[in-house]
Structure 1
Amino acid sequence: MLLRLLSLFAALALVAFQPAQAKDATAGIWVFDTSLSYPGVQMMELTQRNRKLSGILTTRWYGAMEMQNIERRGDTIAFDMRNLNDKANPTRRWTATVSDGRVTLTGDIWYAHVEQTGRRGTKGEAKARRFKPVQLPPLAPVAADGLAATPPMGWSSWNKFAERIDDKTVREIADAMVSSGLRDAGYVYVNIDDGWQGTRGPDGAIRPNEKFPDMKALADYVHARGLKIGIYSSPGPMTCAGYIGSYGHVEQDARTFAEWGMDYLKYDLCSGEWFYSSRDEVQRAYQQMGAALKATGRDIVYSLCQYGRVEVSEWGRDVGGHLWRTTGDITDDFAKMSDIGFDRNPKFGNAGPGGWNDPDMLEVGNGGMTETEYRTHMTLWAMSAAPLLMGHDLRTMDEATRAILSRREVIAVDQDVKGAQGRVVSKDGDAEIWAKPLSDGSVAVALFNRGTTGRSISVAPGDAGFRSLLGGRDLWRGTDVDTNMLDFAVPAHGSVMLRLSGRH
């Protein structure tokens, strides 16, 4: 017994005189008083347990970002950060180095290189800066409301003005929509995209920035011209242009938009992609706003902008959506427009009255394509039953642009109440023939030449699903066609659009 006691005392003594575990020099709270706008790192918190470090970066864009695979190298730690929107490099290696009581943080995320210096922070500063996460509601269908029986038509500010949009420009665009005849051609929505947001008041309500002094007055101005008005937000903390999103204020923002008199909301995933990456999460995030809009009692068309991720066309209607983006952003060039319109958007189904596949806004009139290419752009969007949201400056458009956008027979194909999405029925090298059945039994047929040289393309009755043809019309020329001679010279990057009737 004595020997056992002596052995126990010896062991306790050995433990008592062992040196305490050394505290990692990087552990603790570090705050950054200045940072890049994106991703806006505000704080680093490192916790040491059993010689292992765990940590969080708090950012304006993505909230709390976990530091993964932390490795110590002297006074420097290296760690992995999730790298959004870069499939080739889903993670990036960052470092944090301590020297003279300061920490230098270095790393890359998406398009940004981060290099900033921080200082030791207090528990009070940490409490004030910590991100406060919110929970999504459970998934539940949002009842259909009968809006968007045909694809929405109008104008959106982003393609031409990006975040450089203001009250004066919106009013002048509304006036131009009326004076140009485009309102009477069917374009009714005047949509303010990103860049209008200011700050939140003490009650949490979103307020516009100085470019938009009175949103209700602006909405009244647009409504007085027989038009409707739309606005933009994100389910994340920040919008794509770095303004305040609706995270944590979804229902409140929906009520504000309704009080202002908004008729349309584009809800862009943006920073929300950090929080909501699975199909279930994305659905619930979009359903939350869909239900909130419905609860306002105001008719608001709901545009889901999440770039075609997680099979959106299969559930877009269920969350209250009336249109949903099928791709990333369009740009004003034939290659990008073609990739979206010919290759990406057709992969999505489930389009029809009340819910539409959206290949993004029109670039017609912005100057990056030829008149022939813009006509093809318009033809392809009309054949696809796509929303027709113009993106140019209506105040300065030329007659060729106005003529393309206001061609009534082409618009009628897009707006046909059957709501069928056209599909390719024949391919021959760079030539494609598309068909779109229409509500009166006729069929719209489009001939596309995606090549760089002109070529001849012929149409057969079977391309329209008919056994024989009874009549036809060239929709861009506005003339009847001889159905016995449906052979057309189609220029490079050009198109021909027909409406054919026949016997099955």
Structure 2
Amino acid sequence: MLRGLMTLSLGITVLAAGTARAATPLDGVWLFDDAPSYPGVTMVQLSSEGGKPRGVVTTAWYGPMEMRNLVVQGGKATFELRNLNDKDHATRQWTAVLSGQTLKLSGDIWYAHVEQSGRHGTTKDARARAFKTTALPPMGTLAPDGLARTPPMGWSSWNKFAEKIDDKTVRAMADALVATGLRDAGYVYVNIDDGWQGTRGPDGAIRPNEKFPDMKGLADYVHARGLKFGLYSAPGPRTCAGYEGSYGHVQQDAKTFADWGVDYLKYDLCSGEWFYDDADKVQRTYYEMGAALRATGRPIVYSLCEYGRFEVGAWGRKVGGHLWRTTGDITDDYATMARIGFDKNGRAEHAGPGGWNDPDMLEIGNGGMSHDEYATHMTLWAMLAAPLMMGHDLRQSSPEVLKMLENREVIAVDQDALGVQGKAVRRDGTTEVWTKPLADGAVAVALFNRGEAAATMTLLPSDAGKSGLTAVRDLWRGADLPAGSRDFQVPAHGVVMLRVTGGQG
């Protein structure tokens, strides 16, 4: 049956089939047909040669997963599997129980409870189902390429449509960007997030699924409207929604994306969390795709989505990144948006022309927050010099939503050529004063009220680094205020956003 262990480059062990007599009824190859998509268990291999039990669970999402703390008693095995997606439960308990000629496997991983039944297999079956691992390249450094001199602006499909996105909807979003004036306000990227991928052809090339019959034609449609086209992939075998990732096909996928006319790639760690579990491996997998994109010769904005791990802002540019996520996913509620925007926004010194901290997409227009809360959302992202990626159904944009998203003076703060990320200069209970210096010498000032009741907030010239103020403009009201304006009524969860000039402090 099983005669030892083969060690792969990932440092994960998988069992090699041989001819030794089984020491326990569980020893051998067990095959799982019609496995649920997550985590996609296809095979279990067990050995107890030499009195020490060893085992591997092979999955579609995470490849070969070594059994930890494996204990075999008669026809039952108990063990743990590493569970990197859920940081609060780094390992999870599993069991494998023999029932007649069937092995019943059960356990938990990330969001799923798994119960599968397997049958005996052969050495040949084990070879056929073995996961093909790939090695990462050595780390390198990519020079700046001149893209993303200001934070990217556009629309992404995920927040509203998740994986239920299709060609027709993307074309409608492109048309809506033009018809609403959002394109002319600066929102030029039309990005398909997870859910477009199909299978790979005999040559290994990725093909879109049936919802996207002609990806090149779709890109051409977007480009014809003065817009740019973005796609999504992942360094692991599976994307977050369970579609085909780029694992083992990085260079091939980069070339395919370039051939289709892609202008923007979001690269989401997802199942790669299991393979790339330390700073070195995470940096090298993002460098691998960054180098592959550069090798195509097509200018492609590269968005690193690895949730802010390992101080990504310190190395994001080095791997070719133009923006990098600083946090987990945003949701359409004030508490999550505020926690991300105020507290998980990345170190300001890492941001600037060509590379930006990304606190995730905009939720404005999706309906989960009030007008004042969405104003805080938009203001905070502008003060952070964050990418402005809308995530609602553009066809259903109310006049109020369009007025907020198209405010040219607020957008100008986000897109300011100096590229400085704003920060808090004064905090008092639930109120915060933030400033952002601008290229023309003016300063953007935001008075945020994170409290549950309206508050009076005072603007001090020293907040903006000025000895006195000569001009004060309210950007949301579009009104010039008396230079001596100091006290402002700020609604609960709301903001007052100003542009001020004055003498040097």
TM-score, normalised relative to structure 1: 0.95
State the shift of 1:312 in Å. Answer: 0.2
Over residues 215-254 of structure 1, what are the superposed CA-to-partner deviations in whole Å (9 max), with x where a residue is unaligned? 0100000000000000000000000000000000000000
Q: Secondary structure at the match of 1:425?
A: strand
Match of 2:464 in 1: 464
1:37/1:21 Cα in 2 relative to 1: closer, same or farther (>3 Å)? closer
Match of 1:28 in 2: 28
1:450/1:346 Cα in 2 relative to 1: closer, same or farther (>3 Å)? farther
Checking the alignment, whether the CA contact within 8 Å between 2:23 and 2:49 is kept in structure 1 is no
Quick check: 1:315 aligned with 2:294? Answer: no
Match of 1:13 in 2: none
Q: Which residues of 2 match residues 70-149 of structure 1 at below 5 A?
A: 70-149=70-149
Match of 2:445 in 1: 445
Equivalent position amino acid for 1:486 in 2: R
Checking the alignment, whether the CA contact within 8 Å between 1:84 and 1:109 is kept in structure 2 is no
Distance 2:385 2:339 in 1: 17
Match of 1:203 in 2: 203
Distance 1:189 1:175 in 2: 12
Match of 2:9 in 1: none
Checking the alignment, whether the CA contact within 8 Å between 1:27 and 1:53 is kept in structure 2 is no
Checking the alignment, whether the CA contact within 8 Å between 2:143 and 2:318 is kept in structure 1 is yes
Over residues 177-213 of structure 1, what are the superposed CA-to-partner deviations in whole Å (9 max), with x where a residue is unaligned? 0000000000000000000000000000000000000
Q: Which residues of 2 match residues 192-271 of structure 1 at below 5 A?
A: 192-271=192-271
Distance 2:123 2:252 in 1: 31
Q: Secondary structure at the match of 1:137?
A: coil
Match of 1:375 in 2: 375
Match of 2:481 in 1: 481
Q: Secondary structure at the match of 2:155?
A: strand
TM-score, normalised relative to structure 2: 0.95
1:454/1:96 Cα in 2 relative to 1: closer, same or farther (>3 Å)? same
Match of 1:14 in 2: none
State the shift of 1:333 in Å. Answer: 0.2
Over residues 321-374 of structure 1, what are the superposed CA-to-partner deviations in whole Å (9 max), with x where a residue is unaligned? 000000000000000000000011144641000000000000000000011111
State the shift of 1:74 in Å. Answer: 2.1
Match of 1:176 in 2: 176
State the shift of 1:47 in Å. Answer: 2.0
Match of 1:273 in 2: 273
Q: Secondary structure at the match of 2:54?
A: strand
Q: Secondary structure at the match of 2:469?
A: strand
Checking the alignment, whether the CA contact within 8 Å between 1:67 and 1:79 is kept in structure 2 is yes
Checking the alignment, whether the CA contact within 8 Å between 2:23 and 2:48 is kept in structure 1 is yes
Q: Secondary structure at the match of 2:350?
A: coil
CA RMSD of aligned residues (A): 1.1
Distance 1:346 1:257 in 2: 29
Checking the alignment, whether the CA contact within 8 Å between 1:332 and 1:367 is kept in structure 2 is yes
Runs of 4+ in 1 over 2 A off after TM superposition: 84-88, 346-349
Q: Secondary structure at the match of 2:67?
A: strand
Quick check: 1:187 aligned with 2:187? Answer: yes
Checking the alignment, whether the CA contact within 8 Å between 1:201 and 1:207 is kept in structure 2 is yes
Distance 1:116 1:438 in 2: 59
Checking the alignment, whether the CA contact within 8 Å between 1:326 and 1:348 is kept in structure 2 is no
Distance 1:459 1:483 in 2: 11
Equivalent position amino acid for 1:227 in 2: L
Equivalent position amino acid for 2:401 in 1: T
Quick check: 1:66 aligned with 2:63? Answer: no
Distance 2:253 2:102 in 1: 40
Mind listing any 5+ residue stretches in structure 1 that lack a counterpart?
1-19
Over residues 297-319 of structure 1, what are the superposed CA-to-partner deviations in whole Å (9 max), with x where a residue is unaligned? 00100000000001100000000
Q: Which residues of 2 match residues 323-472 of structure 1 at below 5 A?
A: 323-347=323-347, 349-472=349-472
Equivalent position amino acid for 1:229 in 2: F
Q: Secondary structure at the match of 1:496?
A: strand
State the shift of 1:86 in Å. Answer: 2.3
